[in-house]
Amino acid sequence: MRVQRMSAPLGAIIDGVDVRRLGEAEFADIRALFQEHQVLALRGQTLTPQEQLAFGQRWGELVRHPYAGMKAYPDLIELKNPGKARDINQHWHSDMTYNRAPPKLTMLYALETPGIGGDTAFANQALAYAELSEGLRRVVDGLRAVHSAEGLAGQYGADPGQAPRAEHPVVRTHDETGQRALYVCRAFTRRFVGWTREESAGLLEYLFQHGARPEFQARHSWRPGDLVLWDNRCLLHFAVHDHGDAPRRIHRLQVAGPAPA
């Protein structure tokens, strides 16, 4: 196994591993690297949907998306290039924060990638929290926020009034590492609990922009066969749509995590 850091703020690229054949000791090494780097990109995988699902289940129970899923494999989502105007991922976000217990881990397996472009960017929210002033940390430490999938529901033709929603702390403590991290995102965070949307807007906008500062970021450039997994508890991500209509086909799954605390 060969490990190369992806960037200073986060991430590692791993070669020489076949996830279908990992023994318990090797899997423990991968788990330790995941906690250290928050994003792992395992190059050169050759996986069927069943094999990706099996590897995902080694990390925990799988979480099904409320609106998307392959007919034959409902725990997998097939992501294709819909064209930039129809791409619903053009924002920094953490996956499925509208769930009471959002997934701890998201895993993408690339089957087809553009010759250039189509990167996924990540931003380390533990670093973002640490870089807040002491005064602002005291403010956000005491806040909770409302997260909702109503906008997502409309994009899938579902009833926004029935969309899942949840309340979470604005700063969550990682259940395995103990790190504190910002936990808001432009996609799903609507307002602070006890505040109106108008009152929440200014501070939320500051936190959205602060959390995506370049010095907190890493980018992964995809190749076919890449298996990328990231820690949804302490990262934001952004699918960069700079590849026009070039094909991009990826299979996604999520692994269950605890309710944020």
Q: How confident is the model at residue 149 (pLDDT cuts 50, 70, 90)?
A: very high
Which of the following CATH numbers is that of domain 2-255: 3.40.50.970, 3.50.50.60, 3.60.130.10, 3.40.50.300? 3.60.130.10
Please report which residue ranges of the chain form alpha helices under DSSP H.
Answer: 24-37, 49-59, 125-130, 134-141, 150-155, 197-211
pLDDT of residue 259: 98
pLDDT of residue 5: 97
pLDDT greater than 80 at residue 86? no
Q: How confident is the model at residue 116 (pLDDT cuts 50, 70, 90)?
A: very high
Question: What is residue 223's three-state secondary structure?
Answer: coil
What are the pLDDT digits (tens) for 17-48? 999 999 999 999 999 999 999 999 999 999 99
pLDDT greater than 80 at residue 71? yes
What are the pLDDT digits (tens) for 162-215? 999 999 999 999 999 999 999 999 999 999 999 999 999 999 999 999 999 999
pLDDT of residue 81: 86
pLDDT of residue 82: 79
Long-range contacts of 44-50, Cβ-Cβ distance < 8 Å, separation of 24 or more: 44/15, 44/225, 45/18, 45/19, 45/109, 45/225, 45/226, 45/227, 46/225, 47/19, 47/20, 47/109, 47/227, 49/73, 49/76, 49/251
pLDDT greater than 90 at residue 61? yes
Q: How confident is the model at residue 155 (pLDDT cuts 50, 70, 90)?
A: confident
Q: What is the mean pLDDT of residues 101-120?
A: 97
- How far, in Å, are 119, 190, 194, 204 from residue 187 at the CA level? 19, 9, 20, 12
pLDDT of residue 16: 97
Q: How confident is the model at residue 84 (pLDDT cuts 50, 70, 90)?
A: confident
Domain boundary assignment for the chain:
2-255
pLDDT of residue 106: 98
Catalogue the active-site residues: 93, 95, 237, 252
Q: What is the mean pLDDT of residues 115-125?
A: 96
Q: How confident is the model at residue 89 (pLDDT cuts 50, 70, 90)?
A: confident
Percent of the chain with pLDDT over 70: 100
157: left (phi over 0), alpha (psi -120 to 50) or beta: left
